Structure 1
Amino acid sequence: MSGNFPVIKYKPESYLSYKGRAVNMGKPVPDTEINLIFETPNQGIKYNLVKTDKDGIFVLNNLAFEDSLPFYYQINGEKASKNSTKIYLQPTFTFLPLKNNLPSNNYTLTQRSLNDTSPLEIERAVTNKVSQAFFKGKETLIEEVKIKAQKKDLTKKLNDQLSSSLFKSINETVLDFVNDNQSAQGSQNILQYLQGRVAGLQIQMQGGNYTATNRGGTMELFLDEMRVDAGQISNIPISNIAMVKVIKGNFAGSFGGGNGAIAIYTRRGGNTGSVIDSTLPSNLTEVKLTGYDKEIPFKNEIYDEESAKSVPEDKRSILYWNPYLESKTGESTIVKWYNNDDAKNFRVMIIGFDENNDLLYYNEVLK
């Protein structure tokens, strides 16, 4: 209450960070500019210029991507045909040593006998593995089938293309500048255009800078899912913007503000309307970075597949999982799932937010 806060010695890391080192013939390459060309799946080609320090070290901070991210590099001043400088990267993890003794526990390792029986949880896990192998064996790969049809919701398709799972929320408003909102070109900047177009969002000019607030709290600003200030946003031509997403309340990609965010996505080739040559010179050196684990969809409609009906034994412990279940105002939300072979009771867990951004939690056993 007095305003004296403790010093945070180990600060939390923002997204992913990598430390790189440039080496030529086993020696570091100091004070050298390096061109980095990132090939992102949703936003096309991105260029970045870094400079090594006296030890040939440079750092890539605040990276947010799934699976792997390929990029190419070229040393400024070095001929492409020579390309003798190599770059090595590693994640900048911070490990803290445990200075105390390990906690004691009541379990000891013992030798198993031939008459031991496996716990029920182990048996179910083994059965699930067998079932998964059974499904895998029933799969038949066919040649690629191309369906030529227009998706009904083009805005939803654009949202799926541009935004990652970290920047998706049930309390989001999406403005599509590729298929709609063509009148926005007459506005001075994107923040001015947003004023009055999203309920609860207030855009004001203070001290020569724009501020965005929601219910009195300052909202975060993101450009292509990287945090920026209002000055960087207001200088972007609206013609270069593909989509704007206004998120209210907490979401996975937030820095902990809790007041929501405005996420702006630029046109980066593909279906976003801009024309960018994605052909990279073959003499550039390619490196791949490892990102967050890619989300694997949960198969709720498992028995819609004909091959699943002949599974020898179904012991699935999770029968239905949906991390983004949309509900409609005034209508019942119906959830359907397939039972397994031995379930008699069902534990139902529902976690979400209401229209006031208050947490909803339900955890009951249905008999």
Structure 2
Amino acid sequence: MKNIFFLLLISSVQPVLSQTKLEKAITNLENNYEQEKVYLLTDKSQYAAGDQIWFKSFVFDGYNRTALSTTLFVELYDSDKKLIDWKTILLTNGEGSGDFKLKADLPEQVYFVRAYTPYMTNFSEDFQVVKTIPIYNPNSAESLEISKNSNWSAKAFPESGNFINGMPTKFAVRLSSDNSLPESWTGKIIDAQNPNVSITTFTSFDKNVASFKITPTLGKKYQAIIQDNTGKKQTIDLPEVASSGLNLEVSSSKDGVKYSLKGVNLKQQLQNYKIVGTINNHLAYKANINQLTNEASSLIPTKISNGANGILQLAIFDEQDNLVAKRLCFIKPNNLKVEKAEIIGKNLKETPRSFNSIDLSPESYFKNYTVVVSDDGSNNTEDENILSSLWLTGDFTSKIDTPAQYFSKNANSEALDALLISENWKRFDWNSVLSGATPTIKNNSLKFLSYKVKPIKDNAILRDAAVTLALKLGENPPSASLFKTDQSGYVYLDNLNFNEPLGISLFVNQEKGKESSTDNLFVTVEPLVNPTQFKGNFPNTKYKLVKATENKKLPTTISRAINTQKNNRKTENVDVQIEEVKLVGKKQDPKEELNKQLSTGMFNSMNSTIFDFVNEDQHAGSGNILDWLQGRAAGLTFQRNNSGENVPYIRGSQAKLYLDEMATDASMISSLPISNIAMVKVIKESGLIGNAVLIYTMKGNLKSKNTEKETKKNNLAIVKGYDKPSEFPIEMLDDSTAKVENDTRETLYWNPNLFDSDYVPPRIKFYNNDSAKQYKVLIISFDEDDNILYDNQILK
């Protein structure tokens, strides 16, 4: 926080020659506790096996989009913590997008998406985002059900943590549960010695919290009796009443945060007490009490946060710099600084499969939008959104039911304040910081991707040696540069930003009198930062798995998703048939001759894609042929197995693998040199074979026209960079979609990067499905100063 506000309660201040313990702690905090948080937006809240999960990530450093990290790891796990898939996402101005293609045979259960930057691994894993994703499969032996178990527990939290004799004290009551919380609950406060008399009562603001105020008497034991709407009760003890201490009261308004301090039976009263306010681990406010007094109060102006919203942590320290009270409060809870989208035109229809458009103002300060349009207009409630993640859940590890409610149009600021009284800022601990402890930074915030390259010649590591590395990105021509290895034999490639296969070839200057050769050269490449193993536990959810019944009932949205998958397959089949028709009557070419020569019987199919390695230069290098195949055949995708090898899937189902028409597995294929491959064939839904990938090796007198190039394989390594997002399909009214009988798409438009330069004005264009009468439109954007635009509305 750049603006630090200092307040002196008296004018005379003595100069300090050296830093106090607290001042050293503040310096420590400023220098060592920079931290990030992630919000992950998905196009839907639940999916069917075989669906595609589209996601957009926003990474923040405090309340601004991060400038620390340019790389984000996003991982998909099942409920047993088995890693299903992962993506390496490029962050630009803290934003990045991607997708997961779900296998059609995924068992029905709750899955989890984990997202974190390499820099975030220096801190507690609890602050990495873990998003719950229920995935349904009608063919699974088990079904997901919402648990009816409503067991809960309650705790009472005094404001600032102190409960002092004779001091009116505000309490927050907080409920927690592994599953779901009761809809509503009430409570009363009693003296344990006189349980039949109610001192005060309270009613819950929401499922999470309630609050009450009480003035305690020394020696009495107070209890809270809580009862939910189903009749369940629980009795909890309030803290023991203290005879001395500090009472802190805080309130927040549009003008700022007001605090009042009252000391009870303190030796030196409040003299030399310090008030420290931090926002996102940065000092924002500091005041010293130099008078001999038992009471002090002040208004902290909103300029400490430049007028923006956010959480202020107030900490009170005594004359010995000991922490004696602390309190969290929200800055301007009733005046959220959130912009709305300026829609200057719209053309929306209820007609099935009609074209629709929404125009945004080209004069806006916001230039890049994230937009989701769906027909789920009947349910506009949100459990979580970017506002609640930015201002609340991104910084707390406890489970909060429906956090988006605290920043909605009808939000209750008293409820938010009670919630913050019950919370604890765990990004750092004052006592630890006061002791001088600092986090261990193992992974620095590197720009883009970095690799270490180990050149080897004649089985020996080249130390302090001059080598030439040729870098070839995709189909681009290679570029060569001279490097010198370090004492460990490594060359470092830093700040690489790429999303196509990168070939790294090694060359060494020839020795005098010897012919130059690459046969004795070998090169390995390792990324400097890798995904880390998840060590924690996934959050408890409201779901449970039960044995599936004979007539398994699916949620309506899942039935629609399954029907959409069927429609997509119909559309793909029409496209394939059109391509086959185009092939009829064509003159025989060398590729067809090669196919006839190598393929037999049932392995011949018109519904196939062929890659000829004999007559054509496929620019495949010497890597893994399955890695090379990614993105080269329509409908063919890959999922990594437990061994990290790519396994082919066609239209969501695992494809069979054949080597010279004999069934094999990915491990056998991955070890096969590409120079030995004559042909690769991808077959889709053909007769007895079904979906398959076939690898044919060189036989007889077959010889690649590029043999000389292919033999240079030992000195080449292929590196995968950032995962390139797939393109979201915009349904068009053509012959293929006309074959679809019932269009049930839920997500009608997904664009994580709608730029104002794409159209003038920026235009959201989509086609209706067969049933939508109104559209749920979500728009998110940030301007150059990181002011947020958030608009979630129903349009008709």
Matched residue, 2:448: 15
Structure 2: how far apart are the matches of 1:62 and 1:80? 31
Contact 2:571–2:739 at 8 Å: present in 1 too? Answer: no
Matched residue, 1:361: 790
Structure 2: how far apart are the matches of 1:362 and 1:69? 40
CA drift of 1:290 comes to: 0.8
Structure 2: how far apart are the matches of 1:354 and 1:95? 31
Structure 1: how far apart are the matches of 2:518 and 2:723? 36
Relative to structure 1, the CA distance from residue 49 to residue 366 in structure 2 (aligned partners, 3 Å threshold; closer, same or farther) is same
Contact 1:127–1:315 at 8 Å: present in 2 too? Answer: yes
**In the TM superposition, what are the counterparts of 1:41-120 in structure 2 within 5 Å?**
45-77=478-510, 79-94=515-530, 103-105=539-541, 107-120=543-556
The match for 1:290 among 717, 720, 724 is 720
Which residue identity lines up with residue 720 of structure 2 in the other structure? T
**In the TM superposition, what are the counterparts of 1:1-367 in structure 2 within 5 Å?**
3-4=27-28, 5-6=31-32, 9=441, 10-24=443-457, 26-40=459-473, 45-77=478-510, 79-94=515-530, 103-105=539-541, 107-139=543-575, 140-141=578-579, 282=709, 285-300=715-730, 302-322=731-751, 323-326=753-756, 334-353=763-782, 358-367=787-796
Which residue identity lines up with residue 775 of structure 2 in the other structure? F
Relative to structure 1, the CA distance from residue 124 to residue 56 in structure 2 (aligned partners, 3 Å threshold; closer, same or farther) is farther
Relative to structure 1, the CA distance from residue 99 to residue 67 in structure 2 (aligned partners, 3 Å threshold; closer, same or farther) is closer
Structure 1: how far apart are the matches of 2:756 and 2:778? 16
What secondary structure sits across from 1:13 in the alignment? coil
Per-residue Cα deviation, 1:304-344 (whole angstroms, up to 9, x for no partner): 43212212332222212332242699x76554321112323
Matched residue, 2:407: none
Relative to structure 1, the CA distance from residue 24 to residue 72 in structure 2 (aligned partners, 3 Å threshold; closer, same or farther) is closer
Contact 1:32–1:76 at 8 Å: present in 2 too? Answer: no
TM-score, normalising length from structure 2? Answer: 0.26
What secondary structure sits across from 1:316 in the alignment? coil
Structure 2: how far apart are the matches of 1:101 and 1:294? 30
Relative to structure 1, the CA distance from residue 121 to residue 58 in structure 2 (aligned partners, 3 Å threshold; closer, same or farther) is farther
Which residue identity lines up with residue 32 of structure 1 in the other structure? A
* CA root-mean-square deviation: 3.6
More strand per residue: 2
Per-residue Cα deviation, 1:142-193 (whole angstroms, up to 9, x for no partner): 58xxxxxxxxxxxxxxxxxxxxxxxxxxxxxxxxxxxxxxxxxxxxxxxxxx
Per-residue Cα deviation, 1:184-232 (whole angstroms, up to 9, x for no partner): xxxxxxxxxxxxxxxxxxxxxxxxxxxxxxxxxxxxxxxxxxxxxxxxx
Structure 1 gap ranges (5+): 144-280
What secondary structure sits across from 1:122 in the alignment? helix
What secondary structure sits across from 2:768 in the alignment? coil
Structure 2: how far apart are the matches of 1:66 and 1:83? 29
CA drift of 1:38 comes to: 1.6
Matched residue, 1:181: none
Relative to structure 1, the CA distance from residue 312 to residue 293 in structure 2 (aligned partners, 3 Å threshold; closer, same or farther) is farther
Matched residue, 1:205: none
Contact 1:74–1:80 at 8 Å: present in 2 too? Answer: no
Structure 2: how far apart are the matches of 1:118 and 1:73? 56
Matched residue, 2:325: none
Which residue identity lines up with residue 558 of structure 2 in the other structure? I
CA drift of 1:364 comes to: 0.9
Matched residue, 1:236: none
Matched residue, 1:174: none
Which residue identity lines up with residue 310 of structure 1 in the other structure? K
Relative to structure 1, the CA distance from residue 124 to residue 54 in structure 2 (aligned partners, 3 Å threshold; closer, same or farther) is farther
Relative to structure 1, the CA distance from residue 129 to residue 50 in structure 2 (aligned partners, 3 Å threshold; closer, same or farther) is farther
Structure 2: how far apart are the matches of 1:336 and 1:95? 37
What secondary structure sits across from 1:319 in the alignment? strand
CA drift of 1:87 comes to: 0.9
Structure 2: how far apart are the matches of 1:39 and 1:97? 31
Which residue identity lines up with residue 18 of structure 1 in the other structure? Y
Contact 2:509–2:516 at 8 Å: present in 1 too? Answer: no
Structure 2 gap ranges (5+): 5-25, 33-437, 584-707
Structure 1: how far apart are the matches of 2:534 and 2:785? 42
Per-residue Cα deviation, 1:42-70 (whole angstroms, up to 9, x for no partner): 97543333333444333322110113122
What secondary structure sits across from 2:558 in the alignment? helix
CA drift of 1:84 comes to: 1.0
Report sequence identity in percent: 28
What secondary structure sits across from 2:766 in the alignment? coil
Structure 1: how far apart are the matches of 2:791 and 2:451? 40
Larger Rg: 2
Matched residue, 2:173: none
Structure 2: how far apart are the matches of 1:321 and 1:105? 27
What secondary structure sits across from 2:767 in the alignment? coil
Which residue identity lines up with residue 73 of structure 1 in the other structure? L
Relative to structure 1, the CA distance from residue 56 to residue 111 in structure 2 (aligned partners, 3 Å threshold; closer, same or farther) is farther
